[in-house]
Amino acid sequence: MTTSLDHLARGRDNNLNLIRIVAAAMVLVSHSFVIASGNPHAEPWDAVLGRSPGGMAVDIFFVISGFLVSGSLVKQASIGPYLMARAVRIYPGLWVALLLTVLVVGWCATSASPAAFFTDPQTWRYLLRNGTMVLGAEAVLPGAFEAQPFAGVVNGSLWTLRHELRLYLLLALAWWLLQRWAPGRALDRLKWLVTLAAVGLSALALWQLGASDRSDLVRMGGMFFTGAALHAWRQQVQLGGPRGLLMVAVALLAMVAGAAVSPRVFEPVYRLAMPLVVCWMAFVPAGPWRAWNRLGDYSYGVYIYAFPVQQLCLLAWPGLGPWGLTGVAGVITLALAVASWYAVESPALEWLHRRRQRRQAAAAAAAVTVAG
């Protein structure tokens, strides 16, 4: 029986959508503790693991992203279609979320008057910076949520998108350079390059562990390139069958044992084990798990809407605790995420698909004309 990751990951019948929505929910739960208390370290798991479930969920997103995006890149004839695909997946949903956030906050969640709010440069800075991510994210709107426990922060999730976009561009630049310097061996060299990046950035992240000035880009980059390395070595990685199950069981037990000792022991074990567990969960379990694929990919909508919805819910119901906030905000956020998928994200992806088909048809017609 073929058990390689290369064989298991073919096609779209997998558990990635399910894993992503669970990860997005983990971020929402973690932020509920922060937003309800005003304490960034209020989560009960933070002291045990040295990181929150929300932070682990972000790592999962970056591992999956590295795996999928690197596969997408090497299939493209040039980096143009790759960059277009990344932009179409990120920006349309984000732009609508930003506009809705500004409109709702401007009318009912700020101490500023509507006129002052909508003419304040900070409002436009929020839209422009978050809408491009070129200069980083902006979390504050004028007068918004000033009396909340986690005061002033409108959306504390968007900052990770800046790092994700940077990693997309860095990977594209590396591939572009390799295609020009070693066109016949670019794929083989990319395999070693992403592996070295994964090892180097992960080692640097471990060295920075506990430091006040540690780099989030280093931590996330390590996860992103680990995912890319797993894709590069997918023919050699054996995840199916009893061997894969044993590997995942050992990885999970190692993480539990590491967590029981200390965060410093847990972290290196986690960095080695978690990406393998994610890939196994994504591509091995079948049956009813795959039914989630009949639905849309709501995880991005949950991720970009959850934080402002949580702040608004706490503004409306100040007595909500972390779990109550999770329940109320979770329902509202999921509704917005579903609407975002069907009204914005999926149509944008369908437009991109039609655009590719037209270009392919035009190229085929041109080739026939030349041959004739």
Q: Model confidence over 220-234: pLDDT tens digits?
A: 999 999 999 999 999
- Is there a contact between 239 and 257 (Cβ–Cβ < 8 Å)? no
Contacts of 157 (CB under 8 A, 6+ apart): 27, 31, 303, 304, 306, 307
- Is there a contact between 71 and 231 (Cβ–Cβ < 8 Å)? yes
Contacts of 80 (CB under 8 A, 6+ apart): none
Range in 174-183, 197-206, 245-254, 284-293 with the lowest mean pLDDT? 284-293
- Number of compact structural domains in the chain: 1
Question: What band does 286 get if pLDDT is binned at 50, 70 and 90?
Answer: confident
Which pLDDT value is given to residue 368? Answer: 61
For the cut 70, the answer to whether the pLDDT of residue 366 exceeds it is: no
Q: Which of 149, 143, 113 is nearest to 126 (CA)?
A: 143
The alpha carbon of 4 is separated from its chain's Cα centroid by a whole number of angstroms, namely 25
Mean pLDDT in residue range 257-266: 86
Counting Cβ atoms within 10 Å, is residue 170 exposed (0-12), middle (13-18) or buried (19+)?
middle
The alpha carbon of 89 is separated from its chain's Cα centroid by a whole number of angstroms, namely 11
Helix residue spans in the chain (DSSP H): 5-8, 16-37, 46-49, 53-75, 79-108, 114-119, 121-132, 159-181, 186-207, 216-232, 241-261, 263-283, 299-316, 322-340, 346-371
Which pLDDT value is given to residue 214? Answer: 67
Sign of the C-alpha dihedral, residues 234, 240, 243, 244? positive
- Is there a contact between 214 and 208 (Cβ–Cβ < 8 Å)? yes
Q: How far apart are CA 11 and CA 96, in angstroms?
A: 30
Cβ density class 294-306: b for 16+ within 10 Å, e for less? eebbbbbbbbbbb
Range in 88-97, 186-195, 269-278, 280-289 with the lowest mean pLDDT? 280-289
Q: How far apart are CA 310 and CA 28, in angstroms?
A: 8
User: H/E element holding 13?
Assistant: none
Token duo for residue 293: 């694929």
Question: What band does 317 get if pLDDT is binned at 50, 70 and 90?
Answer: very high
- Is there a contact between 311 and 145 (Cβ–Cβ < 8 Å)? yes
Which pLDDT value is given to residue 2? Answer: 58
DSSP state, residue 287: G
Q: How far apart are CA 118 and CA 144, in angstroms?
A: 12
The alpha carbon of 205 is separated from its chain's Cα centroid by a whole number of angstroms, namely 19
What are the distances in angstroms from CA 210 to CA 32, 254, 266, 267? 24, 21, 13, 11
Question: What is the residue whose two structure tokens read 């900052």?
Answer: 159
Q: What range defines the domain where residue 320 resides?
A: 5-371
Mean pLDDT in residue range 172-199: 92
Which 3 state secondary structure label does DSSP give 4?
A: strand
Q: How far apart are CA 28 and CA 303, in angstroms?
A: 8
What are the distances in angstroms from CA 62 to CA 39, 140, 216? 25, 25, 12
Which pLDDT value is given to residue 4? Answer: 87
DSSP state, residue 295: S
> What's the residue count for the chain?
372
Question: What is the residue whose two structure tokens read 């090892």?
Answer: 199
